[in-house]
Amino acid sequence: MDGLHDSVSLKFRTKKEVSLFGAENVVFKPKCMNIEAGKYVVLMNVNDAKIYGLMPGDRVQLKKGRKSITCVVDLTKTLVKPKVMGIFKEVKELLNLKKGDSIQVSALPTLPSVEAIVRKIHNEKLTDKQISSIINDVVHNNLTEAEVSAFLVAAEINGLSLDETVALTNAMVNSGEVLNLNKKFVLDKHCIGGVAGNRTTMVVVPIIAAAGFYIPKTSSRAITSPAGTADTMEVLAEVEFSMEELKKLVTKAKGAIVWGGGVNIAPADDKMIQLRRPLHLDPLGVMLASILGKKKAVGANHLIIDIPTGRGAKVEDVNEARNLARKFKEVTDRLNIKTNVLITDGSEPVGNGIGPILEARDVLMVLAGDGPLDLREKALLLAGKLLELTGKYKVGEGYGVAKSILDSGKALKKMRQIIELQGGNGKVKVSDLQPGKYTYDIKATKKGRVEHIDNKNISRIARAAGAPFNKGAGIYLHKVKGDFVKKGEAILTIYAESETKLSQALKVAKTFPPFLMEKMFIDELL
């Protein structure tokens, strides 16, 4: 394909070797293209590249007056003529290029960040400065996708040391804005995910805020799940805010639940996640830095981490969970974040509702003193442990304090304040939240007990039904593990906002069964 092939040269060049344009800059005429490249890249005619000794992936500096920008070179035979440079939207806007302008172009040596990436490929330990150079160039789009991917692969294969992980975390924090509340206690929580439902954040935050502690919670949208916390909170209120707006929210209500992608927190991480996702890469050190960088950026100094473990969860083996817990502790100790890590049962969904509206209904019911017992109990456990971390309560007292706040209605009142401050209806009722009108009950084909509800298959079905993009789509669980069901009794209901989506969900359900029934060897006795 002509142009935009994103090639990369990892050959080192020194400043002495880069005399490609001689003593002075070469002047090119820009050809502005109405295309977004997603990075700072320019197109050069292959004949110019031969003359100046440039290869795809080399970097040049473009200047117009006092403005300059570093770009990656890509080559073309036909899209631009010699002495003309193809300019994409991002570069055009930064240089404010207009018709008739000229640009000065000079070659640049290999970036220090690229040299650092090559060293990591060869399993060398990187310094804080080298890691900072990588993250800085990721933020400023100075690295190609191939180069960033090379770093991620190297981190996956060779791993990151504790020093490198801490350095990467701090570099992530420094890549964006930080929230400075200047408070002694700033609390936060995190779950590594992988469990359908599990909307504990939306119960924990109002409990902690009602207890008088600050908890600026930045949450994610769904990647492979039927809903992230931000998707579910969006049913009740706005979730996209600037850092200054987040500070005002937290100052007033002590708590907030916002989408982390809307706040300029650790932007380098967001860029790296875009490359990690299609490659299915999750290097441990990068994952730790990704999570903890965002906690550090909001000023958290007390943190509870939930590692759901068990059949079908992200972490299935308890020994692996314990190792991950130790890694979290090692890094947070270095970051001066007082942390408690809980290994919880992640073998089945938490709550009855799966999908934004259905999960929001569960949350409101729990806050009102009703709703799924497992969601209530897990949220109380996490909130209690987080309260104990502050030292204000003895070990074993936190659960009771959290329960008292929840049962008194203070948490619900606080949640209504948070919803209203975030632009939602603070008086919202469960009955106001109606899921999709197209439904289908999946029923037991025989009597017996439910042996297992499969997290991954539940998520597949709910997403096929339209979640999280269709807020009313999802699944409602009528039964959980161990429940006895009669033949023909509904175990779960699928909700969709269109017949087409419902049909798609049913096809997925046939391929990926959402539950298993226990084998009954004495059926006649039941």
Report the distance separating Cα 62 and Cα 137, nearest Å: 17
Report the distance separating Cα 131 and Cα 125, nearest Å: 10
Angle between helices 318-334 and 162-174 (to 10 degrees): 60
AA identity, residue 310: G
Give the CA distances from residue 152 to residues 5, 148, 215, 328, 497, in Å, rounded to whole numbers and listed in that order. Answer: 20, 6, 31, 20, 39
Q: Is 376 exposed, middle or buried (0-12, 13-18, 19+ CB in 10 A)?
A: buried
CA proximity to 213, closest of 186, 243, 236, 249: 186
Residues designated as active site: 282
AA identity, residue 79: L
Check: CB of residue 248 under 8 Å from CB of residue 125: no
DSSP letter string over 45-66? EHHHHHHHT--TT-EEEEEETT
CA proximity to 361, closest of 203, 211, 220: 203
Q: Count of CB atoms within 10 A of residue 306's CB? A: 24
